[in-house]
Homo-oligomer: A and B are copies of this chain.
Amino acid sequence: MARRPLMKAKAPPRPKPAAQHPVELGWLGGTAGFYLRTAQEAAFQAFARRANGADARPWRFAVLALIDANPGLTQGELAAAIRRNTSSLTPVLDDLCRQGYVSRQRLESDRRTYALKLMPKGNAARIKLLASAVEHERELDRIVGSNRAQFIRILQKVATAFAQDATSK
């Protein structure tokens, strides 16, 4: 992060000199790719900001929500759902288990796998993050307007179409 933090420095509102004459985006300004990226980044940062206090690191809320919706799922299934390598998930789950949010139980039928379950503390954390997420989606609604359902449908299609590419290639 920083060079010699010296103090905890709780989110100092930096002024950020707004660009006076806007940069011409050229061809980029007519692409979906460029805005897909900037929109995603801006939206995620807004969510993290809103969830301030709750821990909203990248996939934490999704992990809690997915374990809640699929009690007993395995780490491999969870990793596939968020398109991450299982080795990336291990430290996340270590952390959630250490905090008493999630339990890992060896499955009797296949003792190599864990059945993941949400613990009461984990459900409480999920609900807290859900409140932020609901607010966040409400703001997205206001921005997106009446085309919300269609917008989501298109994003889904993009995600699945390119994801299929990845496996077929």
Q: Which residues of A contact B (CB under 8 A)?
A: 13, 16-19, 23-28, 30-47, 49, 62, 65-66, 68-70, 73, 76-78, 80-83, 130, 133, 136-137, 139-140, 143-145, 147-148, 150-152, 154-163, 165-167, 169
Q: Is the contact region of chain A dominated by helix, strand, or loop, or is it mixed?
A: helix
Name the CB-closest residue of B to A24.
B69
Q: Knowing A16-B167, A23-B78, A25-B66, say if A30 contacts B158 (CB, 8 Å).
A: no
Partner of A69, one of B26, B34, B145: B26
15 contacts between A and B (CB under 8 A): A25-B69, A26-B65, A27-B130, A32-B43, A33-B140, A35-B156, A36-B36, A37-B44, A38-B155, A38-B163, A39-B158, A39-B162, A41-B159, A45-B162, A46-B166
Partner of A33, one of B19, B23, B137: B137
**Chain B residues within an 8 Å CB radius of A35:** 152, 155-156, 158-159
3 shortest A-B CB distances, which residue pairs? A26-B69, A42-B162, A35-B155
Name the CB-closest residue of B to A143.
B161
B42 A40 Cβ-Cβ under 8 A: no
B81 A19 Cβ-Cβ under 8 A: yes
**Chain B residues within an 8 Å CB radius of A13:** 169
**Chain B residues within an 8 Å CB radius of A130:** 27
**Chain B residues within an 8 Å CB radius of A46:** 162, 165-166
A144 B166 Cβ-Cβ under 8 A: no
**In the complex, what distance in Å separates the CA atom of A65 from the CA atom of B23?**
11
Name the CB-closest residue of B to A137.
B31
**Chain B residues within an 8 Å CB radius of A148:** 32
